[in-house]
């Protein structure tokens, strides 16, 4: 029975952690970056990996234009850092070319010379 | 092949090729279930400036540039653009339907696909449980995968072996055909413990369909069909490591790795090991609440993707040792009354399969498929003083051709199949041998008008060396009343050969003797189903309401009668009525972003003639309620899942002839089970913690005459609820995607 009592406490503290993070007053910026994403796989990869970059609050790739829109806290990260993060996942970020090693590790369908699909 | 059907249903129909490099077609939108032309839509060959616009009937005609990709980009203002691969559709007549984007400001509405959903496009009512849903119950195997599914019930078979069984439409799991990647599997001797043979992290998705199913996979599906798709060697994560442990001392490990050797060949290794070595007896009845289990499960599969040839083959090996019974039982000593009551089940299972698919070069939408599977299953077991040893060799082969008549509105699949089951079973001094061979042919015709009507009719004729000719007609129809309302109907027949001992091993864990009163016939039934689904837009989200009704009527059924005599279980053929009525209502909605809610209720009316009386089938809940809630934080860093299941009362087998202290009540009480899980996602790994049976609900005294397990009234099979209480578990998943 002890365990039953503990579970709500764990859940509450987890929720509290979340709220704390949101309460801090910082300036929120939005940036749109053209990427070399190809497909839905790329979209998932970019959105998942970028979500774990420091300062990122929201991230979404437009499937049509392959533009990645990132909402971030400007005291935690910068536009440049975000672009570098994208290149390290293996994609071009505006004028910055993809990190070649990371790019070559992507599945064939997600590499730059793949046909759009 | 399924993809073919879906693709063609969605976007195209085609006639014979007139000009190789010229493409004709039409662009349409759906208005109230009707196809209506889009005038002035743009049709452009991919990566070129070569394009045209549609005329006032929505038609277009375009000469293709030779060097550019054979793909068309079809677009229209405020409609979602589509790219059509002409190599898939042919060049004859391309039918494109564009989706209206309701709000132009929203560039794209990214909505999370509900992780369990009723397919809208399939003619058969198929509910798919995908990986997201499977991760909601991180433990352990197939039996936990249906927690959030309202259609499938999972219950313990008895109080001592830990075996779990499913029910569909209130009918025992053996009436549900199990497929692994569209081949019948986990049949025969695998039946009692089969839910434990498929590790959770091996599965990519599960498809559940109620009622009659397609004739392609044989005649066995009587109440429904469950297909398991394993993870693929050429898709998904490169490596997955999953470690799990619970407070009862059970630990599990899973390792999946895949390699793409080159563009055509890929391979995958899936490995699983579990160990439960801790004895528990929380209800102090001297019997273990959960059996001790050691299992190793290994699967290696290969895939070849050629231009026209697809090839898949693999090999699977499973070994399991299960020990239950009394706490003080020592399996090393003699299995006698001195040592206490013990249960031991040792299983070795080998599976091999080879699948080939060949896409015909000269005819689009036509392919040949050949499925082969070999299974050897060996079990050595004892239940108290009962000794049961058995082995099974099975082969399944299915050769099929898929094509169309005139155009893809009329598709068909036809083929021949052969299956062989060779059983040797020994229970104490009695030996049964069975050599069953079934040769069959089938024809399935699929009609689609590409607007609102789909029909699948199928016939199969089999010759069974034991039961003679078997004729199986089946029908499915789907009618879209309009964009928001879908009606489905199904009707068909099914057969099954019973394996009485293997399917009722829980009877071995009683003091009762099994007595066959006559030679058993093949079981047969008719099933009728009606499903209505409504998709209602509320705000930006869609409320999905489904209502279904299924009726199953048995012409013959093997009856297990334990209500005549306290010491004997009689086995005989049905003489009288046996049926199941099942009505289910379900609602699914996302009231807040990323918060999914599901509410379901099902009523079961299942009756069988036992003795000379039409009785409610024992161990079937009168009704089932399900509430499932799931929340994911923004950026998918946290996930919270909860589900609550309400189990209505069940009739329990008559025990009035036992002395009063060894009787069970006439009906079980109503009870609820609560499960919950929290998952935290990191970039490369996830951790999860969860609990099963959080209300700690337990059946008191699940074992009758537990104090004298060799007494004449001993019975561990009267189980209607959980035997073990709250289970808290935690685990970690480590993933490499690149």
Instruction: List pLDDT tens digits, range B216-236.
Output: 999 999 999 999 999 999 888
| Model pLDDT, residue B63 | 81
Contact B509, B383 (CB under 8 A): yes
Q: Strand, helix or coil at A63?
A: coil
Instruction: Please give, rounded to a whole number of angstroms, the shortest distance from the CA of A83 to a CA of chain B.
Output: 18
Task: Give domain status of residue B304, yes or no.
Answer: yes
Among the ranges given (A101-115, B86-100, B315-329, B585-599), the one the predictor scored with the smallest mean pLDDT: B86-100
The nearest alpha carbon in chain A to B692 belongs to A4
Same domain, B13 and B143: no
Beta-strand runs (E) in B466-594: 468-482, 485-496, 513-516, 523-538, 541-556, 558-561, 568-573, 578-592
Select from B159, B232, B123 the least CA-distant residue to B698. Answer: B159
Tell me the CATH number at B14: 2.60.40.1120
Residue B370 token pair: 């050949």
Same domain, B220 and B238: no
Task: Give domain status of residue B107, yes or no.
Answer: no
**β partners of residue B530:** B489, B549
Strands B453-464 and B485-496: unpaired
Neighbours of B13 (CB within 10 A): 21
Considering only residues B41 and B293, tell me which one the structure prediction assigns the higher pLDDT.
B293
Contact B302, B265 (CB under 8 A): yes
Same domain, B79 and B120: no
* Closest residue to A106, CB basis, from B637, B682, B738: B738
Strands B513-516 and B568-573: parallel
Of B174, B205, B229, the last residue of a domain is B229
Percent of chain B surpassing pLDDT 70: 91
A interface toward B at CB cutoff 8 Å? Answer: 1, 3-4, 7, 10-11, 14, 18, 45, 48-49, 51-52, 56-60, 62-65, 90, 102, 105-108, 115-117
Cα B264 from Cα B260, distance rounded (Å): 8
Q: Strand, helix or coil at B636?
A: helix
Cα A31 from Cα A53, distance rounded (Å): 14
Cα B206 from Cα B229, distance rounded (Å): 6
Residue to substitute from A2, A4, A44, A114, interface B, most B β-carbons within 10 A = A4
Contact B475, B492 (CB under 8 A): yes
- Which domains are seen in chain A, by residue range? 26-110 (3.30.70.100)
* Closest residue to B691, CB basis, from A7, A45, A51: A7
Give Cα B35 to chain centroid, integer Å: 34
Put simply, the chain B residues between 607 and 636 with a CB less than 8 A from any chain A CB are 633-636
**β partners of residue B413:** B402, B444
| Model pLDDT, residue B551 | 97
Same domain, B596 and B451: yes
Instruction: Give the single-character DSSP code of B726.
Output: -
pLDDT over 90 (residue B188): yes
Residue B507: φ, ψ to 5°: -70, -25
Contact B27, B56 (CB under 8 A): no
Q: Tens digit of pLDDT for each residue in B654-686?
A: 999 999 999 999 999 999 999 999 999 998 899
Q: What is the mean pLDDT of residues A50-61?
A: 91
pLDDT band at A115 (very low <50, low <70, confident <90, very high): low
Instruction: Please give, rounded to a whole number of angstroms, the shortest distance from the CA of A95 to a CA of chain B.
Output: 22
Q: In residues, how long is chain A?
A: 117
Instruction: Give the single-character DSSP code of B129.
Output: E
Select from B603, B437, B110, B579 the least CA-distant residue to A63. Answer: B110
Asked if B635 and A64 come within 8 Å (Cβ–Cβ), the reply is no
| Model pLDDT, residue B103 | 32
Task: Give domain status of residue B31, yes or no.
Answer: yes
Task: Give domain status of residue B111, yes or no.
Answer: no
Select from B134, B163, B198 the least CA-distant residue to B351. Answer: B198
Asked if A62 and B638 come within 8 Å (Cβ–Cβ), the reply is no
Which residues are within 8 A (CB) of B613 and not within 5 positions of it... i.e. 6 or more apart? none
Order of all β-strands in the sheet with B164-168: B152-156, B164-168, B171-172
**Position of tokens 């006439």?**
B666
Among the ranges given (B180-189, B533-542, B560-569), the one the predictor scored with the smallest mean pLDDT: B533-542
| Model pLDDT, residue B406 | 83
Contact B672, B723 (CB under 8 A): no
CA distances from A58 to A52, A71, B103 (A): 10, 5, 22
**Position of tokens 């764990």?**
A10
Q: How far is the first Cα of chain B from the last one, in angstroms, to the nearest whole number?
A: 28
A44 HSE (CA, 13 A, CB side): 11
| Model pLDDT, residue B109 | 32
Q: In residues, how long is chain B?
A: 738
CA distances from B337 to A29, B279, B285, B330 (A): 76, 20, 17, 12
**Position of tokens 């090999």?**
B315
| Model pLDDT, residue B283 | 87
Q: Based on the structure, what is the number of domains in chain B?
A: 3
Considering only residues B361 and B520, tell me which one the structure prediction assigns the higher pLDDT.
B520
Between helices A40-51 and A79-89, what is the axis angle to 10°? Answer: 130
* Closest residue to A58, CB basis, from B635, B638, B678: B635
Name every chain B residue with its beta carbon within 8 A of the beta carbon of A108.
Answer: 263
Q: What is the mean pLDDT of residues B146-160?
A: 86
Instruction: Give the single-character DSSP code of B213.
Output: -
| Model pLDDT, residue B18 | 32
| Model pLDDT, residue B11 | 38
Task: Give domain status of residue B610, yes or no.
Answer: yes
Neighbours of B47 (CB within 10 A): 14
* Closest residue to B637, CB basis, from A51, A64, A117: A51
| Model pLDDT, residue B681 | 92
pLDDT over 50 (residue B647): yes
| Model pLDDT, residue B74 | 82
Contact B614, B593 (CB under 8 A): no
Q: What is the mean pLDDT of residues B260-269?
A: 92
Order of all β-strands in the sheet with B42-45: B51-53, B42-45, B71-75, B82-85
Q: Is B108 on the interface with A (CB under 8 A)?
A: yes
Task: Give domain status of residue B108, yes or no.
Answer: no
Same domain, B492 and B621: yes
Select from B331, B366, B327 the least CA-distant residue to B346. Answer: B331
pLDDT over 80 (residue A95): yes
* Closest residue to B633, CB basis, from A18, A63, A117: A18
B711 HSE (CA, 13 A, CB side): 14
Tell me the CATH number at B137: 2.170.130.10
| Model pLDDT, residue B699 | 93
Select from B473, B455, B728 the least CA-distant residue to A10. Answer: B728
Residue B47 token pair: 């990566």
Percent of chain B surpassing pLDDT 90: 66
Asked if B83 and A63 come within 8 Å (Cβ–Cβ), the reply is no
Cα B223 from Cα B216, distance rounded (Å): 16
Q: Tens digit of pLDDT for each residue in B458-503?
A: 999 999 999 999 999 999 999 999 889 999 999 999 999 999 999 9
The secondary structure of B335-383, three-state, reads CCCCCCCEEEEEEEEEEEEEEEEEECCCCCCCEEEEEEEEEEEEEEEEE
Considering only residues B145 and A117, tell me which one the structure prediction assigns the higher pLDDT.
B145
Task: Give domain status of residue B352, yes or no.
Answer: yes
| Domain housing B141 | 116-229
Select from B664, B667, B674 the least CA-distant residue to B697. Answer: B674
| Model pLDDT, residue B92 | 62
Asked if B694 and A60 come within 8 Å (Cβ–Cβ), the reply is no
Of B212, B229, B246, the last residue of a domain is B229
Same domain, B403 and B529: yes
pLDDT over 60 (residue B57): yes
Residue B419: φ, ψ to 5°: -140, 150
Asked if B633 and A3 come within 8 Å (Cβ–Cβ), the reply is no
pLDDT band at B514 (very low <50, low <70, confident <90, very high): very high
Strands B407-427 and B386-405: antiparallel
CB pairs under 8 A between A and B: 53
Asked if B81 and A62 come within 8 Å (Cβ–Cβ), the reply is no
pLDDT over 50 (residue B299): yes
Asked if B108 and A58 come within 8 Å (Cβ–Cβ), the reply is no
pLDDT over 50 (residue B205): yes
Q: What is the mean pLDDT of residues B319-339?
A: 92
Select from B233, B226, B144 the least CA-distant residue to B180. Answer: B226
Q: How far is the first Cα of chain A from the last one, in angstroms, to the nearest whole number?
A: 54
Q: Strand, helix or coil at A51?
A: helix
| Model pLDDT, residue B17 | 31
Give Cα B241 to chain centroid, integer Å: 24
Of B186, B206, B229, the last residue of a domain is B229
Name every chain B residue with its beta carbon within 8 A of the beta carbon of A51.
Answer: 635-637
Same domain, B218 and B313: no
Same domain, B180 and B245: no
Tell me the CATH number at B435: 2.40.170.20
**Position of tokens 């004709």?**
B24
Same domain, B181 and B207: yes
Same domain, B303 and B431: yes
Considering only residues A109 and B331, tell me which one the structure prediction assigns the higher pLDDT.
B331
Asked if A62 and B689 come within 8 Å (Cβ–Cβ), the reply is no
Instruction: Please give, rounded to a whole number of angstroms, the shortest distance from the CA of B236 to a CA of chain A.
Output: 9
Same domain, B224 and B236: no
Same domain, B457 and B552: yes
* Closest residue to B738, CB basis, from A18, A105, A108: A105
Task: Give domain status of residue B106, yes or no.
Answer: no
Residue B465 token pair: 């060396």
Contact B600, B629 (CB under 8 A): no
Residue to substitute from A14, A98, A109, interface B, most B β-carbons within 10 A = A14
Q: Report chain B's mean pLDDT, rounded to a whole number.
A: 88
């Amino acid at each position: 029975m002890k365990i039953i009592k503990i579970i709500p406490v764990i859940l509450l503290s987890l929720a509290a952690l979340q709220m704390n993070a949101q309460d801090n007053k910082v300036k929120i910026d939005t940036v749109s970056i053209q990427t070399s994403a190809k497909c839905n796989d790329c979209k998932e990869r970019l959105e998942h990996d970028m979500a774990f970059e420091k300062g990122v609050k929201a991230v979404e790739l437009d499937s049509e234009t392959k533009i990645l829109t990132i909402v971030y806290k400007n005291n935690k990260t910068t536009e440049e850092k975000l672009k570098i993060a994208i290149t390290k996942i293996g994609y071009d970020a505006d004028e910055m070319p993809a990190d070649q090693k990371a790019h070559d590790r992507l599945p064939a369908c997600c590499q730059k010379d793949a046909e759009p699909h | 092949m399924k993809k073919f059907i879906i693709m063609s249903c969605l976007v195209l129909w085609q006639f014979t090729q007139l000009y190789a490099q010229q493409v004709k077609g039409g662009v349409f939108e759906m208005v109230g279930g009707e196809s209506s032309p889009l005038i002035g839509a743009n049709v452009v060959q991919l990566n070129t400036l070569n394009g045209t616009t549609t005329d006032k009937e929505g038609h277009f005609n375009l000469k293709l540039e030779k060097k550019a990709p054979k793909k068309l980009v079809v677009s229209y203002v405020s409609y979602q653009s589509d790219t059509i691969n002409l190599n898939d559709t042919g060049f004859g007549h391309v039918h494109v339907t564009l989706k209206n984007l309701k709000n132009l400001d929203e560039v794209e509405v990214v909505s999370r696909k509900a992780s369990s959903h009723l397919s809208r496009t399939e003619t058969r009512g198929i509910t798919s449980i995908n990986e997201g849903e499977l991760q909601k119950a991180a433990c352990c195997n197939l039996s936990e995968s249906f927690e959030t599914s309202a259609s499938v019930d999972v219950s313990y078979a008895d109080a001592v072996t830990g075996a779990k069984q499913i029910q569909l439409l209130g009918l025992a799991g053996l009436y549900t055909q199990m497929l692994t990647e569209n081949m019948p599997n986990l049949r025969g001797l695998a039946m009692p413990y089969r839910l434990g043979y498929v590790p959770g992290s091996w599965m990519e998705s599960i498809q559940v369909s109620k009622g009659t199913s397609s004739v392609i996979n044989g005649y066995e599906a009587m109440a429904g069909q469950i297909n398991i798709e394993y993870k693929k060697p050429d898709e998904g994560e490169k490596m997955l490591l999953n470690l799990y442990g619970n407070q009862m001392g059970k630990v599990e490990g899973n390792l999946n790795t895949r390699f793409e050797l080159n563009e055509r060949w890929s391979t995958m290794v899936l490995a699983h090991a579990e160990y439960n070595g801790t004895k528990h007896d929380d209800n102090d009845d001297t019997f273990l609440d959960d059996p001790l289990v050691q299992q190793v499960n290994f699967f290696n599969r290969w895939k070849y993707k050629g231009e026209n040839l697809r090839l898949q083959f693999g090999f699977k090996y499973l070994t399991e040792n299960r020990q239950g019974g009394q706490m003080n039982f020592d399996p090393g000593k003699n299995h006698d009354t001195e040592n206490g009551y013990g249960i031991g089940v040792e299983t070795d299972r080998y599976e091999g399969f080879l699948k080939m698919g060949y896409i015909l070069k000269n005819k689009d939408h036509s392919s040949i498929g050949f499925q082969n599977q070999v299974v050897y299953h060996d079990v050595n077991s004892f239940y108290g003083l009962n000794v049961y040893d058995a082995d099974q060799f099975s082969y399944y082969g299915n050769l099929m051709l898929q094509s169309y008549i005139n155009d893809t509105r009329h598709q068909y699949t036809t083929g021949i199949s052969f299956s062989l089951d060779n059983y040797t079973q020994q229970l104490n001094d009695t030996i049964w041998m069975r050599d069953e061979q079934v040769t069959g042919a089938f024809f399935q015709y699929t009609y689609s008008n590409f607007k609102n009507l789909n029909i699948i009719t199928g016939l199969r004729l089999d010759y069974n060396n034991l039961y003679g000719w078997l004729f199986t007609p089946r029908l499915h129809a789907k009618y879209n009343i309009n964009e928001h309302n879908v009606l489905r109907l199904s009707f068909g027949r099914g057969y099954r050969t019973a394996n009485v001992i293997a399917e009722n091993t829980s009877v071995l864990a009683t003091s009762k003797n099994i007595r066959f009163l006559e030679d058993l016939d093949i079981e047969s039934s008719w099933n009728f189903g009606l499903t209505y689904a409504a998709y209602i837009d509320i705000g930006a989200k869609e409320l999905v309401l489904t209502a279904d009704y299924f009726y199953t009527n048995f012409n013959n059924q093997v009856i297990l009668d334990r209500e005549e005599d306290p010491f004997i279980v009689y086995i005989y053929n049905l003489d009288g009525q046996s049926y199941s009525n099942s009505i289910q209502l379900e609602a699914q909605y996302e009231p807040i972003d990323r918060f999914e809610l599901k509410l379901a209720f099902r009523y079961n009316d299942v009756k069988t003639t036992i003795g000379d009386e039409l009785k409610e089938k024992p161990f079937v809940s009168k009704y089932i309620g399900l509430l499932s809630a799931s929340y994911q934080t923004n950026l998918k860093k946290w996930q919270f899942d909860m589900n609550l299941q309400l189990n209505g009362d069940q009739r329990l087998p008559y025990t009035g002839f036992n002395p009063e202290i060894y009787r069970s009540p006439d009906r079980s009480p109503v009870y609820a089970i609560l499960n919950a899980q929290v998952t935290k996602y990191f970039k490369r790994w996830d951790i999860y913690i969860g609990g099963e049976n959080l209300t700690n609900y337990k059946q008191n005294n699940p074992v009758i005459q537990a104090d004298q397990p060799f007494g004449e009234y001993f019975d561990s099979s009267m189980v209607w609820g959980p035997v073990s209480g709250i289970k808290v578990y935690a685990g970690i998943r480590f993933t490499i995607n690149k």
